[in-house]
């Protein structure tokens, strides 16, 4: 692929995550997670069909029978004879609950990689450890919390009390949280949105040093796509939820002690990453509507050149259209000051 074509696809990906963010934001604070997800999936799927690629969804909303749109194995893009072939991972909304209840840190995200370079993890959950460039190669997911924090403090040349660790606020993390507190590090608990949390470890001035805990396996691959460019590191181990699942994995030949690293999850010469904010957060600003315009903030990354761009886009709602797959037609985001239910037609 030429450098020019690479850049064009990068901008196309931004349009896809922007569309998902815009349509899902129409449901902000309305308490309906399914409507948020449906709106984002519909718009993302429709906009993907404009991109001149042969794309296959490797990580999506689930298996075909359970996820009629953006299911694993779905073909997206134009599929012209001379189009290049890619694997795609998507999370139309990382944090559907956050959008449904008007909470911060929800994003729409996707990555694109060479054919065969995105990992399939057989468990819904994985145990994850993410760090930025300064700690890459120094911590070990198999080591104790105490040991990893000691190593991190020495590497960063700060006391442990100045290390900040992000953890999803879940009952399953009570032991991890207790161990971090005993060592004396700072903890930032989050409700959802662990893609942004893992990426934050490698973002300058984020105030986050380590992300650790049990979260979604698909989200691990998506975070790895960004960390490829940022120079950070993600370590992952499979985390079966029951003895039955554990036994089935072992029977199928999976090694539960194996550690998957960043390039195991999102490999190849070049990985393209795009994310758009839906609600305001530490990583990206959310969608804002103002005087007939919608304003979005996105970030796009290319691992081959380590290029990172922040893009602020002003969408004129009088002319803005978003293709919806469910209707094979366009949604026009008009009359933003009217009640939202007046313009929630067209498949949303």
Tell me the pTM: 0.90
Q: Is 194 annotated as a binding residue?
A: yes
Q: What is the pLDDT of residues 31-58, one digit of tens each?
A: 999 999 999 999 999 999 889 999 999 9
Q: Is 123 annotated as a binding residue?
A: no
Report whether 306 contacts 231 (CB < 8 A): yes
Domains 9-116+270-344 and 125-265 belong to one CATH topology: no
Q: Is 228 annotated as a binding residue?
A: no
Q: What is the pLDDT of residues 92-106, one digit of tens each?
A: 999 999 999 999 999
At 5 the pLDDT is 47
Q: For residues 304 and 149, what is the distance between their CA atoms, to the nearest angstrom?
A: 31
**Among the listed residues 265, 336, 253, 338, the one whose alpha carbon sits nearest the alpha carbon of residue 303:** 265
Q: Is 125 annotated as a binding residue?
A: yes
| Residue 63 pLDDT > 80 | no
With b for 16 or more beta-carbon neighbours within 10 A and e for fewer, the 127-138 pattern comes to bbbbbbeebbee
Q: Is 96 annotated as a binding residue?
A: yes
Confidence of residue 341 (pLDDT cuts 50, 70, 90): very low
| Residue 334 pLDDT > 80 | no
At 7 the pLDDT is 58
Q: Is 184 annotated as a binding residue?
A: no
Q: For residues 224 and 267, what is the distance between their CA atoms, to the nearest angstrom?
A: 9
The beta-carbon contacts of 289-292 under 8 Å, at least 24 apart in sequence, are 289/317, 289/336, 292/316, 292/317, 292/318, 292/336
At 58 the pLDDT is 94
Q: Is 95 annotated as a binding residue?
A: yes
| Residue 346 pLDDT > 50 | no
| Residue 284 pLDDT > 70 | yes
Q: Is 219 annotated as a binding residue?
A: yes
Averaged over 269-273, what is the pLDDT?
A: 95
Cα dihedral 327, 70, 287, 5 sign = negative
| Residue 337 pLDDT > 60 | no
Averaged over 196-201, what is the pLDDT?
A: 94
Confidence of residue 61 (pLDDT cuts 50, 70, 90): confident
Contacting residues for 311 by C-beta, under 8 A, at least 6 apart: 14, 297, 298, 299, 300
Q: What is the pLDDT of residues 218-260, one digit of tens each?
A: 999 999 999 999 999 999 999 999 999 999 999 999 999 999 9
Domain 125-265 falls under CATH 3.30.413.10: no
Q: Is 91 annotated as a binding residue?
A: yes
Q: Is 170 annotated as a binding residue?
A: yes
Residue 327: both structure tokens together:
């209707």
DSSP code string of 262-322: HHHHB-SS-EEEEEEESS--SSS---EEETTEEEEEEEEEETTTTEEEEEEEEEETTT-EE
Q: Which CATH fold topology does 9-116+270-344 show?
A: Fructose-1,6-Bisphosphatase; Chain A, domain 1 (3.30.540)
336: left (phi over 0), alpha (psi -120 to 50) or beta: alpha
Q: Is 193 annotated as a binding residue?
A: yes
Cα Rg, the chain, nearest whole Å? 20
Q: What is the mean pLDDT of the chain?
A: 90
Domain coordinates of the chain in residue numbers?
9-116+270-344, 125-265
Averaged over 270-286, what is the pLDDT?
A: 94
């Amino acid at each position: 692929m030429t450098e020019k074509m690479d850049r064009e696809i990068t901008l196309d990906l931004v349009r896809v995550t922007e569309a998902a963010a815009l349509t899902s934001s129409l449901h902000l604070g309305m308490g309906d997670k399914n409507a948020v997800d449906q709106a984002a999936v519909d718009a993302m799927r429709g906009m993907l069909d404009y991109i001149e690629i042969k794309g296959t969804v490797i990580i999506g909303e689930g298996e075909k029978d359970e996820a009629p749109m953006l299911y694993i194995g779905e073909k997206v893009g134009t599929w012209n004879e001379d189009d290049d072939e890619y694997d795609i991972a998507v999370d139309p909304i990382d944090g559907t609950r956050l959008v449904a209840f008007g909470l911060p840190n929800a994003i729409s995200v996707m990555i694109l990689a060479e054919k065969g370079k995105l990992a399939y993890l057989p468990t819904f959950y994985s145990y994850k450890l993410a760090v930025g460039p300064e700690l890459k190669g120094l911590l070990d997911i198999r080591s104790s919390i105490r040991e990893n924090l000691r190593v991190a403090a020495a590497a960063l040349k700060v006391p442990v009390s100045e290390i900040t660790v992000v953890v999803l606020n879940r009952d399953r993390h009570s032991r991890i949280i207790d161990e971090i507190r005993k060592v004396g590090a700072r903890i930032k608990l989050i409700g959802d949105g662990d893609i942004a949390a893992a990426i934050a470890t490698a973002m300058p001035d984020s105030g986050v040093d380590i992300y650790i805990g049990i979260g979604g396996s698909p989200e691990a691959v998506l975070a790895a796509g960004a960390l490829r460019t940022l120079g950070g590191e993600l370590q992952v181990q499979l985390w079966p939820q029951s003895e039955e699942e554990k036994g089935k994995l072992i029977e199928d030949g999976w090694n539960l002690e194996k550690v998957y690293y960043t390039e195991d999850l999102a490999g190849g010469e070049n990985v393209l990453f795009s994310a758009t904010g839906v609600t305001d957060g530490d990583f990206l600003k959310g969608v804002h509507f103002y005087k007939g315009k919608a304003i979005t903030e996105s970030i796009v990354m290319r691992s081959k050149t380590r290029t990172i761009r922040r893009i602020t886009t002003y969408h004129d709602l009088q002319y803005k259209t978003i293709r919806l797959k469910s209707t094979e037609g366009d949604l026009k985001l008009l009359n933003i000051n009217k009640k939202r239910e007046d313009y929630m037609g067209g498949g949303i």
